[in-house]
Amino acid sequence: MLKGKVALITGGTRGIGLETVRTFLENHADVILFGSKSESVQIAKESLKKEGFLVDGYFPNLNNYEEVLDIIKEIIKKYGHIDILINNAGISANKKIEDTTYEDFSKIIDLNVKAIFNLIKAVVPYMKDNQGGVILNTSSMVSIYGQPSGVGYPASKFAVNGITKSLSRELAPFQIRVNAVAPGIIKTDMVAALPEEQIKPLIQSIPLGRIGEPKDIANAFLFLASDMASYITGEILSVDGAARS
C-alpha cells in the first residue's frame, strides 16, 4: 500500500509508534523513526533488523526547530522526498490541577503541541515541492471528552485536533492531506502492566469488549496514509471500540 513512499514517524521506538513503523515497513515504505534518545532508537532498529527490516533512526530535540530542520534536510538529501509525516511522540499526565506545576503543564505542551508545529513547519515546504503529502497526528479519545485529571494532556490533544483541522484547509490546495487518529484504551506497556482488577473494569467500559492493540492504531494510520484515503482530510478518526464516555 505504501510502495515508493518515504515516511517519518516520531515516537517510533515503542508501543503504537513502533507498531506503526513495522506496519509501514510491511507495506514497503521507506521509514525513518525518531526517538527520544540514542539508546531507544538503537534498540528499536536492532529489533526491526532481526525481523528483516532496515530503518534509519534519529533522536533530535523536537522542541529545537533548527535541530529538527537540519535532520529533515539530511533525510531529504538521502531520500529525495518525505511523503508521510506521523507526529506520534507525546506524553500524558494524570495529576490533579492543584498538584500540577507550571513546569508539568509546559512539558506536555512542548512535546505534544510545539514539537508537532516544528515538524510540520520543517516538512511542509518539501511536501509542497513534491506536489503533495500526508500529515498524520496522534490525538486521543480525551481530545473529545476530556479526562478526570491531568488537564494538560487533553488540552494538548484538543490543540492537536485544532492543528489538524486548520492545516487540512490551509494545505489542501497543495495536495497535502492532514488527519489525526484518536486512540482509545490501547494495550501499551503502561496498560499491560496494570493489575487484572483494574483491567477488567476498563474492558467492561468498552462496547466492543476488548482493549485495543497497537496494531489497531497502526492500521488506521496505514489507511489514512495510503491512496485509499485520497479524498479524506481534516478528520479525527476515533479508534476506541466506541469507548466514548
Tell me which residues are annotated as active site. 153
Residue 206 burial class via C-beta count within 10 angstroms: exposed 0-12, middle 13-18, buried 19 and up: middle
Residue 10 burial class via C-beta count within 10 angstroms: exposed 0-12, middle 13-18, buried 19 and up: buried
CA distances from 48 to 9, 190, 236 (A): 14, 22, 29
* Nearest partner of 216 among 14, 18, 20, judged by Cα: 20
- Tell how far CA 21 is from the center of its chain: 11
